[in-house]
Amino acid sequence: MDAPALKNLINRYATPLTTGFFLVSMISGVALFFHWAPALFHGMHEWLSMVLLVPFVLHLWKNWGPLMGYFKRKTMFVPLLLSLLVAMPFAIPNSGGKPGGNPAFAAVQLVTKAPLTDSAALFKNTPDELVTRLRQRGLAVTSSSDSLNQVAQSAKMQPAQLIAELLNERQ
């Protein structure tokens, strides 16, 4: 393929292909985030996000001049720094030495492992009130030093489910 034909191909298809594959990546990413048919969307998201790199590079090539203008006007640096800062909590190792993951999940882990004396305030209860609420639900609680993890495990339920139920009761 000669240079003018390649340039014409890039000019015609770089942005539409980037848009199309971005939409696929966006939809599959949202589905994965909300755990909708993860077996269906996982492979699609991984592979088509890799395929997205090709039209993305073509799009960059096509728009190289305007892209460099962002750097010359110094308007690219703040968005790049912000993007890096937002990504950092997912990459910093947690206390177990593993990558951090979603900070919200890390917060839930802390709440579920804490004794009821520490987590009761999150449910707008005193520790004794929270123990009473849990026992009224038929859950086994030996003392306010138990954790939501322990209570949920004895009931054969997920700690996050228990938290959701406790929060919904208060509304």
For residue 167, the model assigns a pLDDT of 85
Provide the total of helices (H) and of strands (E) in the chain, helices listed first.
9, 0
Taking Cα atoms as reference points, which of 148, 150, 147 lies closest to residue 164? 148
Could you tell me which residues are beta bridge partners of residue 134? none
The structure tokens listed for 159 are 């700690």
Q: What is the pLDDT of residue 30?
A: 94
The domain tally of the chain equals: 2
Average pLDDT over the chain reads 87
Asked if residue 119 and residue 65 are part of one domain, the reply reads no
Does residue 81 belong to any structural domain of this protein? no
148 belongs to a structural domain: yes
Contacts 24+ apart (CB under 8 A), 14-22: 14/55, 14/58, 14/59, 14/61, 14/62, 15/59, 15/62, 17/54, 17/55, 17/58, 17/59, 18/52, 18/55, 18/56, 18/58, 18/59, 20/55, 21/48, 21/49, 21/51, 21/52, 21/55, 22/52
Q: Is the pTM of this model over 0.75?
A: no
Q: Is residue 107 part of a domain?
A: no
Of the three residues 44, 75, 106, the one that is the final residue of a domain is 75
Is residue 39 in some structural domain?
yes
Residue 62 lies in a domain: yes
* pLDDT tens sequence across 16-45: 999 999 999 999 999 999 989 988 999 999
Q: What is the pLDDT of residues 132-150, one digit of tens each?
A: 999 999 999 999 999 999 9
Tens digit of each residue's pLDDT (9 = 90 or more) over 53-104? 999 998 898 899 999 999 999 999 999 999 988 888 777 765 566 665 667 7
Residue scoring higher pLDDT (28 or 158): 28
Residue-number span of the structural domain to which 38 is assigned: 3-75
Place of tokens 């703040």: 78
Please tell me the predicted confidence (pLDDT) of residue 109: 81
Identity of the residue numbered 30: V
What pLDDT is attached to residue 32? 92
Residue pair 148/162 in contact by the 8 Å Cβ criterion = yes
For residue 150, how many other CB atoms are within 10 A of its CB? Answer: 19
Q: Is residue 127 part of a domain?
A: yes
In a domain, 87, yes or no: no
